[in-house]
């Protein structure tokens, strides 16, 4: 089966109107749950006409970049940098790099205090997205489902004096105890053909797909990596919040969470491993304590993220696999008795075929 070709759609970020469609080489794209995906590619400039089109279409910070694989949208985001290169034979290429749609929220700040009292955490996220879109020039077309709820209500005040970045606020809200996962997905609407940027939320995690995919080695899994890591492990934890600067006559001291110690792990013979975290704008004790408990739970038994590389000509996959469950079966010298476990796909990196190298997908996994 012949591999499908990739091409780039360059659009206006605010209106999504297509400016140009150009061929690309050296494509690298990835997408994740809990982390911003990236894309890099080179636009060959073989003649003056293509060079003029690329100059007219590309304006970093203002240009949206969609990657098509055949008829499908496989990636979307904001083009942030471009680099014109020339090799020793005079061939020109324009290297472009983009970040997923959530990277735009790194460039958006709170300039008007936002308050929420006993509001579902999903509604708080949607409120931040809507606030971003409500300001002049701030709407890039991120859509969301206004009906989905998490069942967890929060009190939050985002002060304009802190000028926090919107993505940072959403990440902090997601990482607190009983939090959630979020991402902004890219796809083409099957009925209208319209390109979609949609906020995806899941509590406690994002799950997609109804059928289970089985991946075997020997088989479609061509290689894998299985980290065993204790560098981020901690069995005691304390978080630090905002400093109290109201009384100028006293020493300014930060708000501190309760000190959390896992006595069971220490009694089992583990050495004491201390961990800390900072929330410099956090002023509420209960909220800081909830962050500390979530951080401690994550550090006590940190999840490693195995990765498996799959040949796409043997097992058709797509970025829509994010959040889906796969069954991984491996038998080799390390897994002599055979590994047979279920994992959730939390990241995916695509490598298109290049000069005889097959098209592959690297899947990043989390225990299901």
Partners of 94 in beta bridges: 43, 84
Rounding to the nearest 10 degrees, give the CA dihedral for residues 23, 39, 327, 336.
100
Residue 357 pLDDT class (50, 70, 90 cuts): confident
Tell me the C-alpha distance between 186 and 140, whole Å: 13
* Separation CA 296–CA 302 (nearest Å): 10
How far apart are the C-alpha atoms of 159 and 162, rounded to whole Å?
6
- pLDDT band of residue 85 (cuts 50, 70, 90) is very high
User: Would you tell me how many other CB atoms lie within 10 Å of the CB of residue 251?
Assistant: 7
b/e burial code for range 127-140 (CB count within 10 A of at least 16 → b): bbbebbeeeeeeeb
Average pLDDT, the chain: 93
Q: Which residues sit opposite 356 in a β-bridge?
A: none
27-41, 190-204, 260-274, 348-362 — which is least confidently predicted? Answer: 348-362
Q: Does the model's pTM come out above 0.75?
A: yes
Q: Shortest CA distance to 9 belongs to which of 93, 74, 85, 95?
A: 74
- What is each CA distance from 236 to 231, 290, 291, in whole angstroms? 14, 15, 14
Q: How many CB atoms lie within 10 A of CB 357?
A: 9
More confident of the two residues 137 and 316 = 137
Give the pLDDT confidence score for residue 137 in this predicted structure: 97
pLDDT tens for each residue of 7-42: 899 999 999 999 999 989 889 999 999 999 999 999
User: Considering Cα of 93, then 94, then 99, then 101, what sign does the dihedral take?
Assistant: negative
What whole-number distance in Å separates Cα of residue 349 and Cα of residue 40? 12
Q: Report in angstroms the alpha-carbon separations of 158 from 111, 114, 117, 281.
A: 9, 5, 12, 9
**Helix/strand/coil (H/E/C) assignment for every residue in the chain:** CCCCCEEEEEEECCCCCEEEEEECEEEEEEEECCCCCEEEEEEEECCHHHHHHHHHHCCCCCEEEEEEECCEEEEEEEEEEEEEEECCCCCEEEEEEEEEHHHHHHHCECCCCEEEEEEEHHHHHHHHHHHHHHCCCCCCCEECCCCCCCCCEEEEEECHHHCCEHHHHHHHHHHCCCCCEEEEEEEECCCCCCEEEEEEEECCCCCCCCCCEEEEECCCEEEEECCCCCCCCCCEEEEEEEECCCCCCCCCCEEECCCEECHHHHHCCCCCCEEEEECCCCCCHHHHHHHHHHHHHHHHCCCCCCEEEEECCCCCCCHHHCCCEEEEEECCCCCCCCEEEEEEEEEEEEECCECCECCEEEEEEEEC
pLDDT band at 1, cuts 50/70/90? very low
What is the Cα 42 distance to its own chain's centre? 23
Identify the pLDDT of residue 246. 62
Cis bond leading into 204, ω under 30°?
Answer: yes
Does 319 score more than 80 pLDDT?
Answer: yes
Is 77 within 8 Å of 64 (Cβ atoms)?
yes
Nearest-CA neighbor of 4 among 76, 95, 96, 68?
Answer: 68
Is the pLDDT confidence value at 249 over 70? no
Neighbours of 261 (CB within 10 A): 15
Pairing of strands 181-188, 360-367: unpaired
Mean pLDDT value of segment 45-61: 96
pLDDT, tens digit, 9 for 90 and up, residues 284-309: 999 999 999 999 999 998 888 999 99
* 61 in Cβ contact with 87 (< 8 Å): no
Query: d(Cα 304, Cα 315) in Å, to the nearest integer?
Result: 25
């Amino acid at each position: 089966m012949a591999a499908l070709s990739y091409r780039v759609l360059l659009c206006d970020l605010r209106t999504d109107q297509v400016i140009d469609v150009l061929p690309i080489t050296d494509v690298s794209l990835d997408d994740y749950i809990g982390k911003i995906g990236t894309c890099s590619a080179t636009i060959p400039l073989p003649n003056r006409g293509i060079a003029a089109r690329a100059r007219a279409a590309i304006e970093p910070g203002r240009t949206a970049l969609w990657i098509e694989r055949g008829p499908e949208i496989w990636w979307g985001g904001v083009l942030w940098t471009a680099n014109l290169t020339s090799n020793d034979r005079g061939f020109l290429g324009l290297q472009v790099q983009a970040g997923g749609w959530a990277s735009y929220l790194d460039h958006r700040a709170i300039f008007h205090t936002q308050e929420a009292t006993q509001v579902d955490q999903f509604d708080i996220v949607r409120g931040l997205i809507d606030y971003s879109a409500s300001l002049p020039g701030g709407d890039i077309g991120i859509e969301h489902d206004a009906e989905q709820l998490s069942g967890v209500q929060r009190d939050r005040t985002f002060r304009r004096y802190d000028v926090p970045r919107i993505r940072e606020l959403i990440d902090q809200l997601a990482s607190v105890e009983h939090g959630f996962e979020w991402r902004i997905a890219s796809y083409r609407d099957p009925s209208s053909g319209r390109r979609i940027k949609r906020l995806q939320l899941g509590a406690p995690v994002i799950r997609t797909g109804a059928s289970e995919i089985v991946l075997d080695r020997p088989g479609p899994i061509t290689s894998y990596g299985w980290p065993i890591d204790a560098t981020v492990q901690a069995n005691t934890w304390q978080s630090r919040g905002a400093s109290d600067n109201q009384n100028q006559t006293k020493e300014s001291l930060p708000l501190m969470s309760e000190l959390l110690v896992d006595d069971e792990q220490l009694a089992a013979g583990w050495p004491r491993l201390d961990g800390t975290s900072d929330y410099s704008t956090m002023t509420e004790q209960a909220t800081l304590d909830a962050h500390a408990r979530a951080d401690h739970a994550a550090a006590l038994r940190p999840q490693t993220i195995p990765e498996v590389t799959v040949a796409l000509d043997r097992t058709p996959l797509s970025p829509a696999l994010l959040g889906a469950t796969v069954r991984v079966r491996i038998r080799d010298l390390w897994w002599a008795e055979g590994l047979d476990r279920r994992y959730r796909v939390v990241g995916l990196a695509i490598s298109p075929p290049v000069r005889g190298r097959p098209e592959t997908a690297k899947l990043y996994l989390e225990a299901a």
